[in-house]
Structure 1
Amino acid sequence: MAHAHHHDCGHGHAHSNHHGGKGLLLATLLTLGFAGVEAVAGAWSGSLALIGDAGHMVNDGVALALAAAAAWVARRPPSHRHTYGWGRAEVLAALLNGLAMLALVVAILVEAVQRFQDPAPVAGPAVMAVAVVGLLMNALVAWMLSRGESSLNTRAALLHVLGDMLGSVAAIASGAIVYFTGWKQADPLLAAGIALLISVSSLRLLREALHALMEGTPPHISAAEVGAAMEQVDGVLGVYDLHVWTVGDGEVMLSAHLQVADLAAWPQTLAGLRQVLQQRWHIRHVTLQPETDPIEPLHRPA
């Protein structure tokens, strides 16, 4: 049986992460710096909502730092030891970040329950003042990110920051309610709300990281649609053992066995396949094996 093998290495791993690194780094420093200020202010004023919002800003700061690190690490080219490059380091860091933030959520919720049962005095005006500054700083960071390179990294970071703006609004509301009504339970209630906000983003982060580590098909791609489109290309009789996965941000890989009508026409068939995969799904790293005999699938997706 005749075999032909094509492997398009596609070593452009830095293409989507090269830009925007400096903006992400500046946004990281601003966010983490103010998180420290907010944590100190929260401890001084007795506001758990402010401490909770500081925790949320740390979450965003770490997410921004991961994005900045990914922009730097992605410049490292693949090597003989790391043939896929370093994109997977970002996924591992995201996994650790998500687990750490869930631990923070539990700590804030435990403290909120204790505070609700035994309210502590809160310096309302101080909470409002610090939270207003935090809201303005978040707006500045969001503006910086929205003007930079639009990659998966920066879009995820922007979502974090927009969520953090909600946290700042909650902290402002806490200070106002305590100051004007004296209802101290508002602070732990809003703190719990901020903690749940953190948990939603952290669980989503964990799910995406685990999906990538399990070599899952990227969320925006349907393997069934990809296979169907490949079978529409002239010369392709069937697509088998199709695998679509991602190593890091924006680097989608694809491999498959193909039954073709004529191996002599494979160069033209391959060109058609590559055009479809790149134009519709931006898949450039492709490994395809054409065969003329009927193929028995090694793996059949459920």
Structure 2
Amino acid sequence: MAHSHSHAPQSQDANARRLFIAFAITAAFMVLEVVGGLLSGSLALLADAGHMLTDAAALLVALLAVRFSRRPPNPRHTFGWLRLTTLAAFVNALALLVITALIVWEAIQRFYHPRPVAGGAMLLIAFAGLIANLASFWILHRGSEEKNMNVRAAALHVLGDLLGSVGAIAAALIILSTGWTPIDPILSILVSCLVLRSAWNLLKESLNELLEGAPKTFDVRGLKRELSRAIPEVRDVHHVHVWLVGERPLMTLHVQVIPPHDHDALLSRIHHFLSHKYQVEHATVQMEYQPCSGADCHLNEPQAAHSHHHGHQH
């Protein structure tokens, strides 16, 4: 695995720099949009500021992930500090849901009690926000060749935020040309829907990781079948546990095998299969020569098969 670390520090430094610059730009303009939204009376600007908060938080979590991934594990934190980024993402998602609910509530109130909106100030600030998003996206897109998942995810967040800025500009132009202020709460609800979607996905993903859930795409039953097919000595795979730490899958499993001539070589083949087929770099494999007889052996079996097994025992 030496080849994967040869230029990692340089690329990590470059990614950290890109993420920090993009975070600083996004956070600064988020504050500007909050102030501008309050001064101009534009709810759409406040909604877009909420959307920029999602991006600023995503960039900060990505930056923390780069930083914390360097910190070595210790006897107290044997997996390092990567789970902190998941906790930050979870708190961020909860805050966003609350912000979205407040903006939607205020938008509904404004339909019944319209307020004046300063279209000129709204247009100026929305345009500045668009420039900020374009700058952030350009900085992050330059890092996409690094194939860093955090940087790519952050760039997608910023790309989504461009829509909010374009929408706020459109609303400001409509208010300036027609004086029709209901476009402001209408647009704020549309932008809030974008924030809600991002926040809900982030909440589900971070909660799944905090609850030691398996990755969404991970097929435990498929792994059992494929491991038995790929390695003829494997008779049965059971007691499979998969979870995530900092978006990295970890696994423990029991493998019943035909007693091999070379124990270490067979273990190495199993690890190679897990690494190349399922991208699991950290797996603890317990090899057994006798069939498993405990209740936990059928942990990942379908319910019907499990009940059939119990019926057969009785």
Instruction: Give the alignment's TM-score, normalised by structure 1.
Output: 0.90
Distance 1:88 1:257 in 2: 26
How many Å apart are 1:266 and its aligned residue?
Answer: 2.2
Q: Deviations over 1:193-252 (max 9, x none)?
A: 111111110000000011111221112322222222221213111101111211113x21
Paired position in structure 2 for 1:38: 33
Alignment-derived partner of residue 214 in structure 1: 211
Aligned to 2:235: 237
* Cα distance in 1 between the residues matched to 2:224 and 2:138: 40
Query: 2:96 — aligned with what?
Result: 101
Structure 1 position 288 matched with structure 2 position 285? yes
- Residues 31 and 57 in structure 1, CA contact (< 8 A), matched pair in contact too: yes
> Could you say which structure has the greater relative contact order, defined with CA pairs below 8 angstroms and 6 or more residues apart?
1
Structure 1 position 298, deviation (Å): 5.5
Cα distance in 2 for residues equivalent to 1:27 and 1:301: 46
Matches within 5 A, 1:1-302: 18-19=12-13, 20-148=15-143, 149-232=146-229, 233-249=231-247, 251-296=248-293, 297=297, 299-302=299-302
Cα distance, 1:147 vs structure 2: 1.8
Q: 8 Å contact 1:263–1:292 — kept in the other structure?
A: no
Partner in structure 2 of residue 5 of structure 1: none
Q: What is the aligned length?
A: 288
Shift of 1:159: 2.2
SS of 2:78's partner is coil
After superposing the two structures, state which structure 1 stretch, 28-37 or 226-235, moved more. 226-235
Q: CA RMSD in A?
A: 1.8
Identity %: 39
Distance 1:226 1:204, change over 3 A: same
Q: State the Cα distance separating 1:263 from its structure 2 match.
A: 4.1
Distance in 1 separating the partners of 2:249 and 2:158: 27
1:235–1:265 CA contact under 8 A, matched in 2: no
Aligned equivalent of 1:7: none
Query: Where in structure 2 are there 5+ consecutive unaligned residues?
Result: 303-314
> In structure 1, what residue type is equivalent to 2:94?
L
Letter in 1 for 2:170: A
Residue 129 of structure 1: how far off its partner (Å): 2.2
Q: Decide whether the 8 Å contact of 1:18 with 1:75 is kept in 2.
A: no
Q: Which amino acid aligns with 2:159?
A: L
TM-score (norm 2): 0.87
Higher-helix-fraction structure: 2
